[in-house]
Structure formats: C-alpha cells, structure tokens
Amino acid sequence: MKLQISEVTVPGEAIAFHGSIDTTEWQAEPEGEALLDAPQIDGHYRRDGRYVYVDGELHVHGRTTCTRCLDDAECRQTLPFSEVYVKTATAAETDFDALPFDGSYIDLDALARDIVIMAAGAQVLCRDDCRGLCPGCGVNLNHESCQCVPEEVPPQWAALRELLTTKQ
C-alpha cells in the first residue's frame, strides 16, 4: 500500500488511512514462518511542513514455531508504530530519526516489512498452556507423556521419605 500524502492538508490535521499490505516485494520469510493473510494496516498521518508524522497499528496473522515445544504455532499480532518522514532528507537531517520520502507517497509496504522484522524473535506459544518438551527425554508433553521422574519430589513423597528416615 502506498500512502498518498495530500499537499493541501491543514497543518496538524490528522488524516486516517487503512488498507492491506502487499508483501510481494518482501524477501522470503525465515524457514518455518509464513504469513497466513495479507497484513492489515491502519492509522493516521499529520503533515507539518516537510515532515509527515505517521502513527498506527499493523495487524499480522502468521504461522511460526512455538518457543516452548517447537510445534507450529498460529499467531496474531498487533504491532503499533510511530514514524516521522521528511521530504528530501538533507545532510543536517541525517542525525534526526526521520525517514526520507519523495513528498507525495509513503511506502507502507516497506514500513510494514521493517516492523515485522523488528518484531521477529518475540516469544510465541502454540497455546497459552503449552506444556513444552520434557527436559529429560525431549518428548512433546502436549502429545504424549513419558516416564521421566519429575525433578521436584512431590510433597506427599517428601513426607513419606522423612518418616522412613526417622524410623531407621
């Protein structure tokens, strides 16, 4: 989505936008990760002289790997953003944290790609109560159980052991 910046805005007036992100220009996703729908973007922009302030949210629906059990995990993320663009960046403005644009269009597809890259590596679980992998044998405890003894001794066993030790 290319956001057309109107030349005739009232300074400071917020103009809303929303639309779908075109991901065809994005590089291949990391293995095991895939978008399930086109990301949606919504927000508003304000023009102030050569500067354009863009704020909003990116909505991403994708498939990735569960951090805890390594199974596929579907995730929906809402990623807020706030950017400043400047028409024709000059040397003086390179210190300033503004992105250049040509004065008429802002490339929201490229912005969305950067936002998604920044958000990569977030913890994602296949479900809230994912039981993860057994630290002893590595089985996925969501699908099967195993014979590994829990590291912590359950309280009733601890009491029994104490009883046996004192009787010796």
Positions that interact with Zn ion (CB under 5 A): 66, 68-69, 126, 130, 134, 136-137, 146, 148
CA angle at 159 for the pair 156 and 165, rounded to the nearest 5°: 140
State which residue, 31 or 97, has the beta carbon closest to Zn ion.
31
| CB 150, min distance to Zn ion, A | 10
DSSP strand E in the chain: where? 2-4, 14-20, 34-35, 40-48, 51-65, 72-87, 99-101, 105-107
Looking at the chain, the number of H-run helices and the number of E-run strands are 2, 8
> Which CB sits closer to Zn ion, 3 or 66?
66
Query: Taking the complex as a whole, how short is the minimal distance between the CB of residue 65 and Zn ion, in angstroms?
Result: 9
Q: Compute the least distance from the CB of residue 135 to Zn ion, in Å.
A: 8
Nearer to Zn ion, 34 or 148 (CB): 148
Of 98 and 126, nearer to Zn ion (C-beta) is 126
Q: In this complex, which beta carbon is closest to Zn ion, that of residue 127 or of residue 161? A: 127
Q: Least distance in Å: CB of 46 to Zn ion?
A: 42
Min CB(160)–Zn ion separation in Å: 23
Those residues with Cβ within 8 angstroms of residue 80's Cβ, 6 or more apart along the chain or in another chain: 55, 56, 57, 58
Distances (CA, A) of 145 to 68, 78, 139, 141, 167: 16, 35, 8, 6, 35
Q: Give the three-state DSSP class for 140.
A: strand
